[in-house]
Amino acid sequence: MDFSPLWISLHTACATIGIVFFLGVVAAWWVEGLRSETLKILVDGVFTLPMVLPPTVAGFFLLFFFGNNRIVGRFFIDAFGVQIAFTWLATVLAAAVISFPLMYRSARGALAQVDKGMLEAARSLGLGEWRIFWRIHLPNALPGIISGGLLAFARGLGEFGATAMLAGNIAGKTRTLPLAVYSAVAAGDWDAAGKYVAIIVAICSAVVIGLNLYLYYCKKRQER
């Protein structure tokens, strides 16, 4: 059994969550702070769009911009000598785009539930918005933010459509676990496909159980 899809998927998911966790929280905080409801609705729609689009459509847009002969892709090649399409970087980019909305919406929901009275009290004491975020917003919203991070990690691990479009299905290079399942079934190797499926189910189950245990711990801690 080829274990390279497992390592590629884990590396991709870890890199992805490192990106979307930070960007998702910052984006959620920024959108929550917008005073224009119209602008807030529009920006929220843009950030959420990859979650409702078919992954292959999102992959099409990524390939349109980051393909080797497209605008952004050619810029990276000419300016930095870095190819994105059909490399491991493409698996990270595809997973990040697809899992970002999940992280963003979880973080925004958690931030929105923070008591506005505490925020106004902090402002009346002269604290800046950045200090309010670090001292009040983030600590109180942390359970929801971490929950979103775990779900985004699992989503990045299971990304298929956008990854296939932008990164391809190159064995030992861009073939993640979902792509390995597809390739094994297409080749009629049901034994290998079953093993890959078992690995995915085990990892995702561990994430879900870990999430539930974490939320249970947070609930018990609040009750004390």
Could you report the per-residue pLDDT of 161-181, keeping only the tens digit for each? 999 999 999 999 999 999 999
Among 116, 107, 99, 100, CA closest to 142: 107
Is the pLDDT at 1 greater than 90? The verdict is no
- H helices of 53-189, where? 55-66, 71-80, 88-112, 116-124, 129-132, 138-157, 161-166, 177-186
Whole-model pTM: value is 0.91
Residues 162 and 58: beta-carbon distance below 8 Å: yes
What structural domains and CATH numbers belong to the chain? 4-223 (1.10.3720.10)
Q: CB-based contacts of 82: which residues, under 8 Å, 6+ apart?
A: 76, 89
User: Residue 94, class by beta-carbon neighbours within 10 Å (0-12 exposed, 13-18 middle, 19+ buried)?
Assistant: buried
The predicted pLDDT at position 14 comes to 94
The predicted pLDDT at position 200 comes to 94
Is the pLDDT at 218 greater than 90? The verdict is no
- Could you give the CA distance from residue 108 to residue 121 in angstroms, rounded to a whole number? 21
Among 141, 146, 140, 157, CA closest to 210: 146
Give me the mean pLDDT over the 134-151 stretch. 87
- Could you give the CA distance from residue 170 to residue 60 in angstroms, rounded to a whole number? 18
Q: How confident is the model at residue 72 (pLDDT cuts 50, 70, 90)?
A: very high
- Among 46-50, 192-196, 218-222, name the one with the lowest average pLDDT: 218-222
Is the pLDDT at 34 greater than 90? The verdict is no
Task: Name the residue type at position 156.
Answer: G
Query: Distance of alpha carbon 91 from its chain centroid, rounded?
Result: 12
DSSP-derived letter for residue 83 is -
Question: CA torsion, points 14, 104, 146, 207, in degrees to nearest 10?
Answer: -50
User: Which has more confidence, 7 or 118?
Assistant: 7
- Could you give the CA distance from residue 100 to residue 103 in angstroms, rounded to a whole number? 5
Q: How confident is the model at residue 219 (pLDDT cuts 50, 70, 90)?
A: confident
* Residue that the structure tokens 């861009």 belong to: 174
The predicted pLDDT at position 224 comes to 67
Give me the mean pLDDT over the 188-192 stretch. 94
Is the pLDDT at 11 greater than 90? The verdict is yes
The predicted pLDDT at position 119 comes to 78
Q: How confident is the model at residue 153 (pLDDT cuts 50, 70, 90)?
A: very high
- Could you give the CA distance from residue 124 to residue 128 in angstroms, rounded to a whole number? 10
Q: Say what percent of the chain tops pLDDT 90.
A: 70
Mean pLDDT (the chain) is 90
The neighbour count for residue 124, using CB atoms within 10 Å, is 8
- Could you give the CA distance from residue 214 to residue 206 in angstroms, rounded to a whole number? 12
- Among 3-17, 48-62, 113-127, name the one with the lowest average pLDDT: 113-127
